[in-house]
Structure 1
Amino acid sequence: MRADRLLSLLLLLQNRGRMTARELAAELEVSVRTVHRDVEALGAAGVPVLADRGPAGGFRLLDGYRTRLTGLTSEEARSLALAGMPGPAAELGLGAGLATARLKLEAALPPALAERTRELEGRFHLDAPAWFREADQVPHLAAVAGAVWEQRVLRVHYRRWKGEVRRELQPLGVVLKGGIWYLVAGVADSLRTYRIARLVEVEVLAAGFERPAGFDLAAYWAESSRRLEEMRRQGVARVRLSPSAQRLLPARFGAEGSRALEVAGPPDAAGWVETDLSVEALPVAVGDLLAFGPEAEVLGPPELRAAMATAVAGLAGVYGGG
């Protein structure tokens, strides 16, 4: 809305001093022509905006002028929980509210603290998505987030690997994990997690619901993540690792890889060690361990070693012929 943009322009000039039309346009994500029109509108409303010409020119407020329009709206206050994550805030539909809320907070700070805040923003940056993976397309994220906030029932069409389902959900919270958005919702007297990108259709119903007493989203997610890790690691492999594989193990297996190195036996003359490594189901474990090539040898259990031998023989058949 133009009123929000005019307030943002006013707060930018108050917080940062002289700014060029191009700088204001970049901050407000509008054209330079729009900035000139907005400055004229502020002047017509009695705001003393001065235009300095020349290479060092720009727009500024009359010395000593400060606006008191720094109260937060409901949307702006809600957006502050995502103050360090402008990208996710925009995906949730809170980008504009967050930008205005940050300007209002900055305007309320003493000049020295406001400058310190800007310095901090320029030195620390959060990039939530993981490397080498396209971000999920989440066209229904804003609707889901709105239903979470308003405690409205969601009727969804959800695509999962076993097939598609239609359900009515009580949305309790959204979680951003490794660049992927998830919905935690109540369904049929249980709590479940849904990947929001797999929501094919979403309808926000008029019906409301009561949140479970004492429900803690962060605690639920921590426990759910712990159970998932336990389910993923279904077996233990006895492996022999070269020095190169030992360096790669934590990167490929995370904390489990680090723990395996901590309990490894003494190295032999060539630097190889033997250790126990938690692995996933057999087909997944084969793929994970094949990634080490000749730098790792599976010693057991027998079925995993046999599966590795079969996979290696298949590769030899593909690459060994003329």
Structure 2
Amino acid sequence: MNAWPGRRTATWARTGPRTSTTSRHVATPARLSPRGRLRLPDDLPPAVVRAVEATATSLGDDGWVEAEIPTESASHACGELLRLGGAVEAVAPAEPRRAMAGTVAVLARAYGVAGRVSGGIRVGVEAATGE
């Protein structure tokens, strides 16, 4: 029995999610920093780590790569990518990017930074939606 409802069990973490006829498996292109790639084994299932490593393409000398992250939906992609914080950026399609921007805007409001400028980057709802 899983002591924490909603958390993955050790079996799930080893084997990945169960597939079903209703699951839609899509690849979400993402950019990952060197730190993000190092965190992958701690934050995502082994099958996802293998997929990222198999599809990683260097973006330059700074160590960032672009890779495909297997996901089931935009909300699933958002949840998976948020585990990596600022070490990852969803590249496409627009739906996961919007989900990420909306979630980050909610977090910015929760932490009282909505609309502020941090490191030269505007954060909050205005930055996420362009409004």
What TM-score bracket applies, with the shorter chain setting the length?
0.5 to 0.7
Provide Cα deviations, 1:36-88, integer angstroms capped at 9, x if missing partner.
xxxxxxxxxxxxxxxxxxxxxxxxxxxxxxxxxxxxxxxxxxxxxxxxxxxxx
Partner of 1:260: 52
Q: Is the aligned partner of 1:241 residue 2:48? A: no
* One-letter amino acid matched to 1:265: T
In the aligned structure 1, how far is the partner of 2:34 from the partner of 2:16? 30
C-alpha contact 1:249 1:258 (8 A) present in aligned 2? no
3-state DSSP class of the match of 2:57? coil
Choose between structure 1 and 2: higher strand proportion.
Answer: 1
TM-score w.r.t. the length of structure 2 is 0.66
Partner of 1:275: 67
Q: Is the aligned partner of 1:228 residue 2:18? A: yes
In the aligned structure 2, how far is the partner of 1:278 from the partner of 1:306? 18
In the aligned structure 2, how far is the partner of 1:297 from the partner of 1:303? 13
Q: Which of residues 88, 100, 108 is equivalent to 1:296?
A: 88
TM-score w.r.t. the length of structure 1 is 0.29
3-state DSSP class of the match of 1:271? coil
Aligned residues: 107
3-state DSSP class of the match of 2:52? helix
The correspondence of residues 131-146 of structure 1 with structure 2, limited to 5 A, is 134=3
* One-letter amino acid matched to 1:134: A
C-alpha contact 1:240 1:275 (8 A) present in aligned 2? yes
* One-letter amino acid matched to 2:18: L
Distance 1:230 1:299, change over 3 A: farther
CA positional deviation for 1:269: 1.9
In the aligned structure 2, how far is the partner of 1:318 from the partner of 1:309? 14
Provide Cα deviations, 1:211-232, integer angstroms capped at 9, x if missing partner.
xxxxxxxxxxxxxx89933665
In the aligned structure 2, how far is the partner of 1:278 from the partner of 1:235? 6
Superposition misfits of 4+ residues, deviation over 4 angstroms:
177-180, 230-233
Distance 1:229 1:249, change over 3 A: farther
Percentage of pairs with the same residue: 30
In the aligned structure 1, how far is the partner of 2:94 from the partner of 2:53? 22
In the aligned structure 1, how far is the partner of 2:94 from the partner of 2:16? 29
Partner of 1:83: none
CA positional deviation for 1:283: 1.7
The structure with more radius of gyration: 1
In the aligned structure 2, how far is the partner of 1:285 from the partner of 1:320? 25
The correspondence of residues 157-168 of structure 1 with structure 2, limited to 5 A, is none
Distance 1:245 1:227, change over 3 A: closer
Q: CA RMSD in A?
A: 3.2
3-state DSSP class of the match of 2:91? strand
Q: Which of residues 106, 109, 121 is equivalent to 1:317?
A: 109
CA positional deviation for 1:301: 0.7
* One-letter amino acid matched to 1:292: L
Distance 1:266 1:291, change over 3 A: same
CA positional deviation for 1:268: 1.6
Distance 1:306 1:253, change over 3 A: same
Higher RCO structure, 1 or 2 (CA under 8 Å, sep 6+):
2
